[in-house]
Structure 1
Amino acid sequence: MDFIEISVLTDTATLETAEAICQMVSDSGIYTEDYSDVEEMSQIIAHSDLIEKDLLQKDKTSAKIHIYLSPLANLDAKIENLRSLLAGAGINYSINMAEVHESDWADNWKKYFKPFEVGNRLAVCPTWEEYTPSGSRKVLKIDPGAAFGSGTHETTRLCLETLEEYVSSGERILDIGCGSGILSIAALLLGADIACGVDIDATAVKTAKENGEINGFGEPKLKYLQGDLAGAVEGKFDIITANIVADVIIRLLPDLRGYMSAGGVALLSGIISERSQEVERHIAENGFNIVKKSDNNGWACIVIK
């Protein structure tokens, strides 16, 4: 089914009233683009490192409300009613209208996700693409769905490239904040013995399990758990991956040693370069040594032991 999108641009000062009016007109809900508090929120949320810098430059004085209507609705009457209500409430506004195809919601992003090679031993391929790897590369098939981790982001690429250096044969892997499961699955393809992933998000755990099955892995070789950091995990691991963000890595460090086997290493990624020194200070304070550091386009991956 297709939809008609009506966009209402208005002042943030009258946004709450405008939203209430738009909700009255909508058939299926609204969503609002409001950047007025993005700077304030960036200072307090745990994942502030992942806020795109462009968002901080957005106009803070206006907001855009998106309304979705069935094409079978009486659009002229709906828009006339909307204009009347907004004007009656003394709200400054402008309206734009566009047709939205259902396929745009579900599948258009897929055309930007193509097979690619990473490091010397891996290739990542979306499940809907056909791909023949060069040489003896292992092919990791993945459908990220709603979970983070398609391999295209610099942080995931850094982890995959670094993981390749440390996995040879028989290792036990712990993937903290597993997302789509890409790192733990990659480790098994590279020769690890078993892998366990943990994520606080139930959707990520479900997606990771499905991606494991697509690549031929399941329990007991590959296991995924829902939990906060590694709290749900038991045992020791030779390689720990944590592709998360600086604040969460800092919180994880005091407990990390308890999950590492003798001679084990941890690959820490998702760290913006501006916070790399801060993370390195906490690494030292918790008794770890840095054995390798890689950078890519403003992001860092740090290997510790």
Structure 2
Amino acid sequence: MKWSHITISTSHEAAELVASLFEDLGAGGAVIDDPALLNAYIRSGEWDYTDLEEREETSVVRVSAYIAADERLREKAELLRRGLADLQAKGVDTAPADITEELVEDEDWAETWKAYFHPEKIGEKIVIAPTWETYEAKEGDIVVRLDPGAAFGTGQHETTALCIRALERLVEPGMRVFDVGTGSGVLSICAAKLGAGDITAMDFDPIACRVARENIEVNGVGNVEVFESDLLQKASGRADLIIANIVADIIIRMFENVSDYLEDGGKMLLSGIIDDRVDDVLAAAKARGIRVESVELDKGWAAMVARMS
């Protein structure tokens, strides 16, 4: 299939917010090309070797992502423009806010990274193993077979690893789980293999939903259903645990009605939060009567466990 490689030129201030616009549209991830950050790394001396040269122009940050070139592409492009306009209306400096699009073929760009994805034990029990490699399970291992395809979630990213380790503590036999922004389905599969009951996995991106269904089938977890949904919109009833490994701004938006979907005493596992947005999420949680019980950090990313006060 074809993809639209969309790049937005913006300011340092707006870069993370622009990246969240892509995430909100179901992109598997956004790349932030920050020349000032690159220069800082080069000057730090932490790299043993680099042939990269410092950039002279550092005021413009380029944020890019791949969006499926399907019947919804124009709609998503318009939503990006509206999102930029909304940020500007809120006083965020998004300049220059230029948008470029390049149509590309699916030349295995979702496959090339596979050389770097190998079996890895994430927590005390969970082992994430790619479907194309052989892994002999050891005693006590819970193996999750995964082919993320074009969806986010291998277990190697800090946010996913933080969630997997938390799930080993949080999941109780038979509990009902909602997984918001499921991506590859990895967290839903982990929850199922740890003993959860009914699990509803949701994602805005139809490609992610397809990938999640494929991984769920490979792992033989029949208690996981996948729906295309904007946050919790398609969820039915209430969950004992809501997982949301997305981004700070979308988590904050989810807070608006999350109480309608959470059982009394139920918990939320929230991640995808960069460390300098932790205070924003904490403030938004407090404003909505949500009590954050713990915050764990790993290499600049945070995961929180919370419940309604």
Fold conserved between structures, TM > 0.5: yes
**Alignment match, 1:144:** 148
Q: Structure 2 vs 1, CA of residues 148 and 104 (structure 1 numbering), >3 Å: closer, same or farther?
A: closer
Contact persistence 1:38–1:55 (CA under 8 A): no
User: Does the aligned pair in 2 maintain the 1:35–1:55 contact within 8 Å?
Assistant: no
Q: Which digits, 9 at most, give the CA deviation of each residue in 1:68-102, with x for residues without a partner?
A: xxxxxxxxxxxxxxxxxxxxxxxxxxxxxxxxxx9
Partner of 2:258: 256
| TM-score under structure 1 length normalisation | 0.70
Matching residue within 26, 34, 45 for 2:18: 45
Match of 1:66 in 2: none
Count residues in correspondence: 236
User: Structure 1 residues 183 and 43, CA, compared in 2 at 3 Å: closer, same or farther?
Assistant: closer
Residues 250 and 149 of structure 1, relative CA distance in 2, 3 Å threshold = same
Match status 1:183 vs 2:183: no
What is aligned with 1:55? Answer: 34
Q: For residue 122 of structure 2, what is the aligned residue in structure 1?
A: 118
Q: Equivalent residue of 1:295, what SS?
A: strand
Question: Which residue of structure 2 aligns with residue 129 of structure 1?
Answer: 133
**Residues 100-148 of structure 1: CA deviation (Å, up to 9, x unaligned):** xx98746431110000001111100000010013321110000000000
Structure (1/2) with the larger helix percentage: 1
Larger Rg: 1
SS of the residue 1:270 aligns to: strand
Q: In the alignment, residue 47 of structure 1 is paired with which amino acid?
A: S
TM-score (norm 2): 0.70
Structure 2 residue 299 is the aligned partner of structure 1 residue 297? yes
Q: For residue 223 of structure 1, what is the aligned residue in structure 2?
A: 225
2:203 pairs with 194, 199, 206, which one? 199
SS of the equivalent of 1:229 reads: coil
Instruction: Give distance in 2, aligned partners of 1:228 and 1:301.
Output: 21
For residues 292 and 212 of structure 2, the distance between their equivalents in structure 1, rounded to whole angstroms, comes to: 29
What RMSD over aligned residues (CA atoms) do the two structures have, in Å? 2.8
| Shift, 1:167, TM fit | 0.8
Q: Residues 36 and 191 of structure 1: is their aligned pair in 2 closer, same or farther, counting only changes over 3 Å?
A: closer
Task: In structure 1, list runs of 5 or more residues that go unmatched.
Answer: 1-28, 63-101
* Unpaired stretches in structure 2, ≥5 consecutive residues: 24-28, 39-54, 61-105
SS in 1 for 2:294: strand
Equivalent in the alignment of 1:285: 287
The aligned residue for residue 265 of structure 1 is: 267
Q: Which residue of structure 1 aligns with residue 276 of structure 2?
A: 274
State the AA in 2 paired with 1:226: E
| Amino acid aligned to 2:292 | I
Aligned-partner residue type, residue 55 of structure 1: D
- Tell me if structure 2 keeps the 8 A contact 1:173–1:194: yes
The 4+ residue runs of structure 1 with deviation greater than 6 A are 29-35
Which string of whole-angstrom CA distances, capped at 9 and with x for unpartnered residues, describes residues 31-70 of structure 1?
98978546476265251797556534475599xxxxxxxx
CA distance in 2 between partners of 1:213 and 1:118 (Å): 22
Q: State the SS of the aligned residue for 1:283.
A: helix
Q: Does 1:237 align with 2:216?
A: no
